[in-house]
Structure 1
C-alpha cells in the first residue's frame, strides 16, 4: 500500500491539533491524535496509539504501523480533524 498524503493536509492537521488540542508537555492531543516537533522544529510528528508519522525537511514523511487497517483508521482521524476544526 502506498501512503500518499498531501503536505498541506498534514500541516493543516498539525496546526489544528496544536490550536485545538490539550497540551501534554511539548505535545498537543486532539481526538486521540498527538502532534509535536523535534527539538529544533524541523520534524513534525503526528501519531495515535497504532500509527506514527514523521514529516520533515523537503516534505518527506515516514509512516510506522503494523496493518493497513491501522493506517486507514489513522487517515480517517486526520480527515475528521481537518473537517471538524
Structure 2
C-alpha cells in the first residue's frame, strides 16, 4: 500500500512536536509521538510504538508498520497534533 502524506504537512507537524514536545536527549515527545533527526539534520524520523516514518532529502519518505490500522492510528495522531497546536 502506498501512503501519501504531504511533505509540507510532515515538516509542519515535526516542527510542532519539536516546539511543543518534551525534549529527552535528542528526541522530542508529544502525544505519543517521538520526533528526531539524524546527525546532519537531513533525515527526520517521526514514530509511535507501531509505526515509523523516515522523511529525507528530496521529500522521499518511507513508512514501517505491520498493519493498516497501525498506519491509520499514526496518521490520526499526526493530524491531531497539527490541529491541536495550530499555527506556529
User: Into which bin does the TM-score normalised by the smaller protein fall?
Assistant: over 0.9
Deviation at 1:73, TM superposition (A): 0.2
Q: Deviations over 1:39-85 (max 9, x none)?
A: 00000000000000000000000000000000000000000000000
Give the TM-score of the pair, scaled to structure 2: 0.95
For residue 12 of structure 1, what is the aligned residue in structure 2? 12
For residue 73 of structure 1, what is the aligned residue in structure 2? 73
Deviation at 1:18, TM superposition (A): 0.2
For residue 45 of structure 2, what is the aligned residue in structure 1? 45
Give the TM-score of the pair, scaled to structure 1: 0.99
Mapped partners of 1:57, 1:4: distance in 2: 16
- Two-structure CA RMSD over aligned residues (Å): 0.4
Residues 1:22 and 2:53 aligned together: no
Counting matched residue pairs gives 85
For residue 31 of structure 1, what is the aligned residue in structure 2? 31
Task: Mark the runs of 5 or more structure 1 residues left unpaired by the alignment.
Answer: none
Structure 1 stretches of at least 4 aligned residues deviating more than 4 Å after TM superposition = none
